[in-house]
Amino acid sequence: MNIKPKGYTLLRLWRWTFNFYSSAILLFLIIPVLIIVPLSFNSGSFLSYPLNGFSLRWYHTFFHSDEWLSSLGNSLLIAPLATLLATALGVLASMGLTRGEFRGKSLVMAILISPMIAPVVIIAVGMFFFFARMSLLNSYLGLVLAHALLGVPFVVITVTAVLKSYDKNLSRAAANLGASPWYTFRKITLPLIAPGVFSGALFAFAASFDEVVVTLFLASPRQRTLPIQMFAGIRENLDPTIAAAATLMVAASLILLLVMELLRRRGERLRTATAGH
């Protein structure tokens, strides 16, 4: 005879309630995405439900419009360059913070991640006046530097987390065997922290590719990125091409999430293998 312990029914009810609550929050976050995707295949000329029919006309418009392709090209130019710069600076900063012991270490860390915490409008205004003095307004170099600054905190956080679990004895052993610091970093440290570096780089890329406010302050019409083009399309005329562009960005985000999950699993395998040895 199966006798259930006291409180079993209450525990199951609590689990059902928790699962329902979690599912409701998940749907609340996903519904805006689920709404915009079907609209990108609407044959009508307005963003409205019910759909008039299935059509790829807005994707055709996107890939045959000089404005949309130019903005996409700007995003694909600025985001990778900003990601490379943010990754290089973030890795160096993370290694310095992890290995070095000095006064004001917590303050330096707070300053490095401040672009992630401070309101974007304040950052954009500050960058506007600073870049104006440096003659970097309305330039691709200015946008790359600004986007890199916004991406550095993501790299610092992810790489620092990986470096905290890094076995420093590996570097000491390499140094005792005569390896130079650069050789040790390139052959030992970097392969082990690579999942964290790539994860931070992906976050930095997403932050740059999706940036609107800072770009509005610093860019000229010639440097208009894809999010700025979408923002202009909403403000000036409700062009359904926006839905096609948004769907493409959602697809790119899903690919980035998949890559990050693969990197996370690879990092876990590397940590397990290192701990085993």
What percent of the chain is predicted at pLDDT more than 70? 92
- What pLDDT, in 10s, does the model give residues 92-114? 988 888 877 777 778 888 888 88
Q: HSE-up of 250 (CA within 13 Å, CB side)?
A: 16
25 phi and psi angles, rounded to 5 deg: -65, -40
Any idea which of 31-35, 48-52, 184-188, 263-267 has the lowest mean pLDDT? Answer: 263-267
Assess if residue 14 is contained within a domain. Answer: no
In which region does residue 50 sit, left (phi positive, over 0), alpha (psi from -120 to 50) or beta (all else)? beta
Q: What is the mean pLDDT of residues 230-259?
A: 80
Please count the structural domains in the chain: 1
- Checking if the pLDDT of 185 tops 90, the result is no
Going from the C-alpha of 41 to that of each of 45, 67, 135, 226, the distances in angstroms are 11, 20, 43, 19
- Residue 83 tokens read as 């990601």
At 196 the pLDDT is 84
Is the distance from CB of 260 to CB of 206 less than 8 angstroms?
no
Residues of the domain holding 201: 65-276
Assess if residue 22 is contained within a domain. Answer: no
Assess if residue 165 is contained within a domain. Answer: yes
Assess if residue 169 is contained within a domain. Answer: yes
Categorize the per-residue pLDDT at 237 as very low, low, confident or very high, splitting at 50, 70 and 90. low
Better pLDDT: 169 or 60: 60
Assess if residue 253 is contained within a domain. Answer: yes
Give the chain's length.
Answer: 277
Chain mean position to CA 31: 21
Going from the C-alpha of 128 to that of each of 21, 62, 125, 142, 214, the distances in angstroms are 43, 31, 5, 10, 8
String of DSSP letters for 53-120: -B--HHHHHHHT-HHHHHHHHHHHHHHHHHHHHHHHHHHHHHHHHHH---TTHHHHHHHHHHHHHS-H
Q: Assign residue 165 the CATH number of its domain.
A: 1.10.3720.10
Give the span between the Cα atoms of 143 and 134, in whole angstroms: 13
- What pLDDT, in 10s, does the model give residues 241-250? 888 888 888 8
Best mean pLDDT range from 58-72, 79-93, 228-242, 263-277: 79-93
Q: What is the mean pLDDT of residues 37-61?
A: 81
- What pLDDT, in 10s, does the model give residues 215-224? 999 988 888 8
Is the distance from CB of 208 to CB of 82 less than 8 angstroms?
yes
Assess if residue 180 is contained within a domain. Answer: yes
Q: What is the mean pLDDT of residues 4-20?
A: 75
- Residue 36 tokens read as 């915009």
Assess if residue 163 is contained within a domain. Answer: yes
Closest CA to 167 of 76, 268, 277: 277
At 236 the pLDDT is 60
At 53 the pLDDT is 80
Assess if residue 60 is contained within a domain. Answer: no
Q: What sections of the chain are H helices per DSSP?
A: 8-39, 57-63, 66-99, 105-117, 120-133, 140-164, 168-176, 181-184, 190-209, 213-218, 226-236, 241-276
Angle at 25 between CA 24 and CA 27, to 5 degrees: 65
